[in-house]
Structure 1
Amino acid sequence: MSTDILRFATAGSVDDGKSTLIGRLLYDSKSIFEDQLDAVERTSRGRGEEQANLALLTDGLRAEREQGITIDVAYRYFATPRRTFIIADTPGHVQYTRNMVTGASTSDLAVILIDARNGLQEQSRRHAFLASLLQVPHLVLAVNKMDLVDYSQERFEEIQREFSEFAAKLDVNDLTFVPISALHGDNVVERSLNMPWYEGPSLLHLLENVHIASDRNLIDVRFPVQYVVRPHKADNPELHDFRGYSGRVAGGVLKPGDEVTHLPSDLNTRIKRIVTADGDVDEAFPPMSVTLLLEDDIDVSRGDMICRPHNRPRSAQNVDAMISWMSPGRTLTPRSKLLVKHTTRTAKVMVRDLYYRLDVNTLHRDEEAAELGLNEIGRVSLRSADPLFVDEYRDNRLTGGFILIDPDTNETVGAGMVVDAE
């Protein structure tokens, strides 16, 4: 069951201890191989360090990434008996804003690290804003290096107050503060004896128990069709009339017998069967991948949408959206012509207007901006050649999000979040 998987992003300024924290989670949950640990211990001894430097477990990937060699966001995997975890380790620098957007866009939770000595930095505010812009449902502020401020309750509460004031301006639903020392393991996996004043859970306990099932939209049925299945197997007569529509459920709960509407035709029918790789099921919900068989013979193709008759996404050609621009080679300007990939549908779009560019550090809106450059975020108006079946991003991250593609190079140049559509 995919509900056993928690995807979370880690963010923080350089040297806030992200690599050490991830290393500590991997080490204390016994998710690293002995030869990896041996290599880390050997390297640490060679550097004259008394204990294994757990940051080395991820620094190899980080060095590779920051040189731009192969990967933008380093993904790490570990598991405990309660849950499987996918960590998106996002870089801290402002020039990697697009990487933070990539890592956080699919995350259930974001962990923002703050150095207890330095307190709230510009980057901390930027990461918190991006997490709220991307509607990450749960935000954890991990105040790290508490050992270097003598595990001071006063210092922790000071940072807590300052960040809470800033977060009040953002759209943050669930905010938790945890004082930790990633280096020594305080409150990472086990509760710390050095901070008896802290009565909350350890970071891992929080990650294992945060409730994410209700974060997904189970009300608005959305099923973007990815592929039409026609087996045509002459040796199996049962498959002669098999016509299924495969895709990933983006919202709501689907059951055999349910009345549904097909977009763009507006024709109504009912679900006959729901088929998975393991056989038929009685219901489907996000993020399951299934094949639907319908009672009526409707012309359905890739990019179409199946929804409820009285609960539809907007069928829109004019879309207002927040855009994170990701291309180092070109800028976004009014009249730019691009491709939009929204769920399983691809269409030509033109940028009608750039309303403002947003300073992600001060939240100031520059309404005089003429373009968006690499790592900049702004609100734009797009005109699509074909209707897109969209929801607002705040209602559904899957049907409210999209990417922009350069039609000449096929490069992904931007990521967008629908604010309004008509």
Structure 2
Amino acid sequence: MHEGKLKNIWGYIGVGLRELFWIVSAGAVIFGGIAGFKYLGENREVVKVEPVSRPITLVKTIDLNPINAPLPIRGEGFVQPFRIASLASQVGGQVVKLHPAITERGIFKIGDVLVRLDDSAERASLTQTIANIEATQARLDLNALLLKRTESLRASGTTSQATLDQVRSQKSELAANLNSLQAAKKSAEVALNRKVVKAPFNGSVLSKSVEIGTVVNGGQSIAEIFTQSRMEINVPVREADAALIPGLFSGAAPVATVSIEFAGKTFLWAANVSRVAPNLDVRTRTLAVTVELNDIAAIGTQQDETLASGAPPAMINSFAKVVIQGIHPDDTFPIPSTALHAGKYLWLFAPSDTNGGVLRVLEAELIHVDGETSYVKIKNLPKKLRLITTALSTAQDGMRLRDVRDDLIDIPTPLEQVADE
């Protein structure tokens, strides 16, 4: 029993020694950390605060110049004649004569006989009808003499009333026959006139479908004709662009320019807006504006572009580019479309007295977009500001900038370098 108590005492002593060991170890670690922290604090290197030198961003700029001409409203379309029609006869028959304009694709005037069909039967019918009219008229004249004589005899009692009535009945019958023959004459004249096809307007021949000797039916196409002296282009225009054309809906004739490329050369025509469609296109929501060439013979060129064949006419189905003159607003500037940010902000370079300049963010009103060029309205634009065309990742009003063209250095040419050597 005494030995068991000794074992318990030694057990307690062992546990106490282990606890004491861990306590001493923890204290040593804490003491070492504190001592190390003090040592590092006493021997630390002092860092001096120095201002950070930030690089100044280089930008490209262009000058802002107000427009000195009307806004260009551009469109495209194909040249078409003012009128184009299929020439045909109301009746059938054999073609016996064609106008030279049809055979040679030439020019004709209104009222010219373009096609003549065989009219021998109609002429014979008309001649027969005229002969019948003359015969009936002769009988009617004879009846008038007989009636006058019969009336005299009746007055003297020499002839009967029945004889007088018979003569009067013959007169009425002959008068009715004469009216019928005169109506038949008019019908024969109409039938004869329908054997002739006349030009409904001044123009030229686009194509022909028959030759002399061809038998055609009524309504069959003989040739296709058009107004050569009047050409036009239907141009689709957006609503926003149409609102910039002065007098478009009030009957005015806005000025336009038409350009057509032919054989690599560009030819120009003066034109005017002739009419505007009363409806919007269902799919594109654009307005059809018709531009008519003022004088198809008055052809201009870009620079001195000529062809050995001579200037071409405004040919049907030619692809044309049209520029309609819009309004001429004040305080409006053309800029690259990429220089307009968020649809209304411009980045401007304001030069300073020292080297470089600063960024100024200015609000502008978008007036018109013409391809890669936008027209914006800027009220009270300060002088000497330049438009920044460089893309900036972070644009802040007042940030320091440098213009590339202000830093340009004259580089000597090879000849100058040789002279210096």
Pair member with larger Rg? 2
Give the number of the structure with larger relative contact order, counting CA–CA contacts within 8 Å between residues 6 or more apart: 2
Query: Does TM, normalized by the shorter one, top 0.5?
Result: no
